[in-house]
Structure 1
Amino acid sequence: MGIAGLVTEVGGLMTHGAVIAREYGLPAVVGVPGATRLIPDGHHIRVHGTDGHIELLPTPERADGIDT
């Protein structure tokens, strides 16, 4: 499984991550303070690279009633 977008806590438009994201046509939002604290591991997000914001998506419930 690959990545569909990039979010970083530090950096700017000319950092390595942003340049690579541009090369591969991936949306990127860089310089998001506290991103690793605010986005739980495994949580699905939507990266709005053009607008520069991130959307936390609702956690889908599994058929067995356990949240993922």
Structure 2
Amino acid sequence: MKALVEHIVRSIVDHPEDVQVEEAHEEKVHVIRLFVHPDDKGKVIGKQGRTAKAIRAVVHAAATGGQQRRVRLDIVE
């Protein structure tokens, strides 16, 4: 899952070397934290959050292929 998020985000930002993804497992939730360069935060979120919503949709679709675990994508400043 980490590699998927990295690949998607690195392809849309201006500073791909600053993209970092961390994974954590909380009780029943798989948490993915995304760190990007401050200048790229707007690109990752998109107008009215559409890009972030699309990334989350892909992550949720990929998660349902394996375990039935909830997945949360956090874009961290």
Fold agreement, TM-score > 0.5: no
TM-score, structure 1 normalization: 0.28
TM-score, structure 2 normalization: 0.26
Larger Rg over CA atoms: 1
